[in-house]
Amino acid sequence: MTERFIAFEGVRKSYDGKSYVVRGLDLDVAKGEFLTLLGPSGSGKTTTLMMLAGFEIPTHGSITLAGQRIERVPPHRRNIGVVFQNYALFPHMTVGENLAFPLKMRRLPKAEVTERVRHALDMVRMASFESRRPAQMSGGQQQRIALARALVFEPQLVLMDEPLGALDKQLREHMQLEIKHLHDRLGINVVYVTHDQSEALTMSERVGVFNDGTLQQIATPHDLYEAPDNPFVATFIGENNAIAGEVMELSGGTCRIRASDGSLIAARAGVGLKIGAKTTLVLRPERITLAAAASGPNRFRAHVHELIYHGDHLRLRVSVCGCDDVRIKVPAGSVQTPKPGTDIDIGWAEGDCRALALS
């Protein structure tokens, strides 16, 4: 069994004593795991991170770290490194002095401070920047230094709150891989907060999806993408078409859904479905094919409203199964380009769509 390193048990947080920004959180994190907390603004993910860091205290429940309850342990005694979006570097100090600061606060010998600073800079490939000040560096370089400072005192856990949000797209994607590779090399625990689903899927071993103060689902990136538990997760993770319908048949892990226009759709059955209940059927745009084989159970006639060119692929917006906003993603050049205003045959496999119970 994987060793449990972090545990939230029945954790709730309220700032006014009436409404809760985190509601009944139960969450276990394994030793050495990279976990991302993902969700929209106000969903509770950052408050959860701040409670783990010690900057907020739970209203109810317990938090344990390495077997020790920490709700009342001050932040500086938790042996946790924290990286924020705004870097939080001391502008009047050099890079070396910034990294040495947390070591001096821990009263480490001067020789050990020098060695740890050098090692931390090597880890983030910034050894030649030790004498520079933050204002003399780019945003990406400053973020590397902020990461090195969080690692220099060898913490048991590193927390990251939207650390790449201020960077441009190309640099952000580069830093995602840098942080992921650093975690792989060091094997330390990382809890990472973001609202960027692509970032979460790229970096994490598991992702916890938050909404309205509640942990909606926690799973591997693959399972979140392929098997969302509810409509919120399905629409928040990646791009999904949502088709309304009614459950007509249930058989094991499959079902038949009647769409609003009477079309019958074969799909995988989500948890909690009942015959006669309303459902949302979710279907990824890239799983829909044009001129589908006639032998498949899900073959329909669709009306093309719009065609958008994206370079490596085309996006079609069509009406089908009673829904006027179904999107299809196909590789550019792979098919004859349909024209807006025409009708086309489309289809998808039963295993590529999932019917979800409405909460």
- Poorest-pLDDT segment among 96-100, 217-221, 307-311: 307-311
Residue 1 pLDDT greater than 50, yes or no: no
Residue 294 pLDDT greater than 50, yes or no: no
Residue 292 pLDDT greater than 70, yes or no: no
Region 174-194 average pLDDT: 90
Tokens of 213: 């103060």
Count of domains for the chain = 2
Residue 295: per-residue pLDDT: 57
Give 144's pLDDT tier (boundaries 50, 70, 90). Answer: confident
Residue 357 pLDDT greater than 80, yes or no: yes
| Residue 87 backbone zone (phi > 0: left; psi -120 to 50: alpha; other: beta) | left
Point out the domain boundary residue: 185, 204, 226: 226
Region 187-208 average pLDDT: 93
Residue 76: per-residue pLDDT: 86
Region 115-130 average pLDDT: 91
Give 123's pLDDT tier (boundaries 50, 70, 90). Answer: confident
Whether residue 255 is contained in a domain is answered as yes
Point out the domain boundary residue: 175, 198, 226: 226
* Same-domain pairing of 190 and 258: no
Through-space distance between the first and last CA atoms of the chain, rounded to whole angstroms = 33
Residue 2: per-residue pLDDT: 67
Whether residue 188 is contained in a domain is answered as yes
Residue 291 pLDDT greater than 50, yes or no: yes
Residue 263: per-residue pLDDT: 95
* Same-domain pairing of 16 and 75: yes
* Same-domain pairing of 43 and 175: yes
Give 336's pLDDT tier (boundaries 50, 70, 90). Answer: confident
Nearest CA to 297 out of 258, 326, 319, 266 is that of: 266
Residue 358 pLDDT greater than 90, yes or no: no
Query: For position 287, which CATH number holds?
Result: 2.40.50.140
Whether residue 235 is contained in a domain is answered as no
Point out the domain boundary residue: 168, 193, 226: 226
Boundaries of domain holding 59: 4-226
Could you read off the pLDDT of 233-265 as tens digits, one per residue? Answer: 998 998 999 999 999 999 989 999 999 999 999
Whether residue 277 is contained in a domain is answered as yes
Residue 296 pLDDT greater than 80, yes or no: no
Residue 19: per-residue pLDDT: 93
Region 349-353 average pLDDT: 93
Query: For position 108, which CATH number holds?
Result: 3.40.50.300
Whether residue 231 is contained in a domain is answered as no
Could you read off the pLDDT of 44-76 as tens digits, one per residue? Answer: 999 999 999 999 999 999 999 999 999 999 998
